[in-house]
Amino acid sequence: MLTISGVSKTFGGRTLFEDVSLQVNRGDRIGLVGPNGAGKTTFFSLLLRLNEPDTGLINFERGTTVGYLPQESAPVGDETVLEIATAVTPEMHELRRKITAHENGLATADEEHDFHIIQDRFNELGGYQLEPKAKQILAGLSFREKDFNRLAREMSGGWIMRAHLARLLVQEPDLLILDEPTNHLDLESLQWFQDYLDNYPGAILMISHDREFLNNLVKWIVEIRSGSLIRYRGNYDDYLLQRAAQEEQLLAAYKNQQKEIAHLQEFADRFRAKASKASQAQSKLKQIERMEKIEAPVSDLKKIHFEFPQPIRSGLKVIKLEKVDFAYGENVIYQGMDFEAERDQRIVLVGPNGAGKSTLLKILAGILEIQGGNRELGHNAKLGYYSQHRVEMLKPGRTVLEEGLDTPQRVTEQFVRTVLGCFLFRGDDVFKRVSVLSGGEKSRLALVKLLMDPPNLLLMDEPTTHLDMSSIDALIDALHQFKGTLVFISHDVYFIRKLGNHVVHVNAGRLTHYKGDYQYYLDKTAATSARAALTSTNVGKPAAKIVAAVKTSLPQPSPNKEAKREEAEQRQAKAKELRDKKSQVDKLEKEIALLEKRRLELTAELENPETYAKGGAASQINRELMELEETLGRLNASWEAASTHFLSLQDGKA
Ligand X SMILES: Nc1ncnc2c1ncn2[C@@H]1O[C@H](COP(=O)(O)OP(=O)(O)OP(=O)(O)O)[C@@H](O)[C@H]1O
Interface residue with ligand X among 70, 181, 440, 463 (CB under 6 A) is 440
Residue 41: CB minimum distance to ligand X, A = 3
438 vs 471 by CB, closer to Mg ion = 438
Query: Is there binding between residue 35 and Mg ion (CB under 5 A)?
Result: no
Q: Does residue 482 contact residue 458 with C-beta atoms inside 8 Å?
A: yes
* CA 22/CA 40 separation, integer angstroms: 14
Interface residue with ligand X among 22, 30, 38, 177 (CB under 6 A) is 38
Interface residue with ligand X among 4, 30, 39, 460 (CB under 6 A) is 39
Q: Are strands 331-342 and 346-350 parallel, antiparallel or unpaired?
A: unpaired
From Mg ion, ligand X, none, which one binds at residue 441 (CB under 5 to 8 Å depending on kind)? ligand X
Interface residue with ligand X among 7, 30, 33, 40 (CB under 6 A) is 40
Query: Is there binding between residue 41 and ligand X (CB under 6 A)?
Result: yes
From ligand X, Mg ion, none, which one binds at residue 42 (CB under 5 to 8 Å depending on kind)? ligand X
Residue range at the interface with ligand X (CB under 6 A); choices 32-40, 284-292, 478-486, 596-604: 32-40
Query: Is there binding between residue 42 and ligand X (CB under 6 A)?
Result: yes
Residue 40: CB minimum distance to Mg ion, A = 5
Query: Is there binding between residue 41 and Mg ion (CB under 5 A)?
Result: yes
38 vs 459 by CB, closer to ligand X = 38
Residue range at the interface with ligand X (CB under 6 A); choices 9-17, 116-124, 193-201, 516-524: 9-17
* CA 267/CA 153 separation, integer angstroms: 75
Interface residue with Mg ion among 439, 455, 463, 484 (CB under 5 A) is 439
Residue range at the interface with Mg ion (CB under 5 A); choices 415-423, 433-441, 522-530, 637-645: 433-441
* CA 601/CA 615 separation, integer angstroms: 19
DSSP secondary structure code for residue 490 in this structure? -
Cα–Cα distances in angstroms (integers) from residue 79 to residues 87, 102, 136, 164, in the given order: 10, 16, 19, 11
432 vs 505 by CB, closer to Mg ion = 432
User: What sign does the dihedral 229-230-234-236 (CA atoms) show?
Assistant: negative
* CA 9/CA 56 separation, integer angstroms: 9
Residue range at the interface with Mg ion (CB under 5 A); choices 71-79, 241-249, 259-267, 276-284: 71-79
Residue range at the interface with Mg ion (CB under 5 A); choices 41-49, 101-109, 230-238, 385-393: 41-49
Query: Is there binding between residue 45 and Mg ion (CB under 5 A)?
Result: no
47 vs 95 by CB, closer to ligand X = 47
Query: Is there binding between residue 612 and ligand X (CB under 6 A)?
Result: no
Size of the site for Mg ion (CB under 5 A): 5
Residue range at the interface with Mg ion (CB under 5 A); choices 11-19, 35-43, 251-259, 575-583: 35-43
174 vs 441 by CB, closer to ligand X = 441
Residue range at the interface with ligand X (CB under 6 A); choices 33-41, 75-83, 131-139, 335-343: 33-41
Query: Is there binding between residue 437 and ligand X (CB under 6 A)?
Result: yes
Burial class for 374, CB neighbours closer than 10 Å (0-12, 13-18, 19+): exposed
Q: Nearest 5°: phi and psi at 206? A: -140, 150
* CA 300/CA 201 separation, integer angstroms: 36
Q: Does residue 55 contact residue 488 with C-beta atoms inside 8 Å?
A: no
438 vs 465 by CB, closer to Mg ion = 438
Residues 464-483 that bind ligand X (CB under 6 A): 466, 468
* CA 465/CA 184 separation, integer angstroms: 8
Query: Is there binding between residue 36 and Mg ion (CB under 5 A)?
Result: no
* CA 25/CA 3 separation, integer angstroms: 9
Those residues whose C-beta lies under 8 Å from the C-beta of residue 50, and which sit 6 or more positions away, are: none
3-state secondary structure of 83: helix
Interface residue with ligand X among 36, 189, 359, 535 (CB under 6 A) is 36
Q: Are strands 14-24 and 2-11 parallel, antiparallel or unpaired?
A: antiparallel
**CA-based Rg of the chain, rounded to a whole angstrom?**
31
Return the number of other C-beta atoms located less than 10 Å from residue 160's C-beta: 21
Query: Is there binding between residue 135 and ligand X (CB under 6 A)?
Result: no
User: What sign does the dihedral 459-473-451-180 (CA atoms) show?
Assistant: negative
Residue 610: CB minimum distance to ligand X, A = 50
- Closest of 325, 401, 389, 394 to residue 360, by C-alpha: 325
DSSP string covering 461-507, please? ESTTTT--HHHHHHHHHHHHH--SEEEEE-S-HHHHHHH-SEEEEEE
- Closest of 487, 437, 493 to residue 466, by C-alpha: 437
Residues at the interface with ligand X (CB under 6 A): 11-12, 16, 34, 36-42, 71, 432, 436-441, 466, 468
Residues at the interface with Mg ion (CB under 5 A): 40-41, 71, 438-439
